[in-house]
Chain A
Amino acid sequence: KAGVTQTPRYLIKTRGQQVTLSCSPISGHRSVSWYQQTPGQGLQFLFEYFSETQRNKGNFPGRFSGRQFSNSRSEMNVSTLELGDSALYLCASSFAVGGGEAFFGQGTRLTVV
């Protein structure tokens, strides 16, 4: 079956702009989580969605937001981009909440200039 798909793979944005990243989970998976990966901070949890509801949110400013649609696809949005938002953003999907393996996408590499 197809894996987790993230689009776009690469993005270059200017400070102050906003960006939307997309994640299509594995068919049948209803849980989607987002992570930010940077060399300095490693993998940091952003948010988790299940059945269109945000279940957990990480310690990120309000500029970071997300949502999940009825088909389980998810988007995350970052407004008023800062240089420090440059990172690899990873999406993971799983069948249910708690205890199941998380399958990761290839990520979206965001560069803010």
Chain B
Amino acid sequence: AQRVTQPEKLLSVFKGAPVELKCNYSYSGSPELFWYVQYSRQRLQLLLRHISRESIKGFTADLNKGETSFHLKKPFAQEEDSAMYYCARQIQGAQKLVFGQGTRLTINP
């Protein structure tokens, strides 16, 4: 089965500190990986995807095939980054997404 694991349900850091949200996936072929974010009272939205290799809102994520990881990082956390973050893997040839359990990130002032 294709699994996505986010080991931390809760993560709390201070404003200005670096943040890393962990994501590991079960190895199977060439994964298509995403990070989705859900801010309070807003719909789930795409934050970034590994093939674009871009930085969104200061966040980056690098695919490490050796460690089967796709950790999300930001060097300096902002209060507006407080949200629920989901790592997801798209099933090849489909639109189906397999989500991790999510990590609730809280940025303390």
Contact = CB atoms under 8 A, between A and B. Distances in A.
Q: How large is the interface on A (under 10, 10 to 19, 20 to 34, 35 or more residues)?
A: 20 to 34
A56 to B, nearest CB: 5
20 contacts: A33-B97, A35-B97, A42-B99, A42-B100, A42-B101, A44-B99, A45-B97, A56-B94, A56-B96, A90-B44, A92-B97, A94-B95, A98-B90, A98-B93, A98-B95, A99-B90, A100-B95, A102-B95, A103-B45, A106-B43
Given A45-B98, A56-B94, A102 B46 contact: yes
A50 B95 contact: yes
A31 interface: yes
A13 B45 CA distance: 29
A99 B32 contact: yes
Q: Which 9 pairs of residues, A with B, have the shortest CB-CB distance?
A: A43-B99, A104-B44, A42-B101, A31-B95, A56-B96, A104-B43, A101-B46, A106-B43, A98-B93
Q: How large is the interface on B (under 10, 10 to 19, 20 to 34, 35 or more residues)?
A: 20 to 34
Interface in B17-50: 32, 43-46, 49
Interface of B: 32, 43-46, 49, 86, 88, 90-102
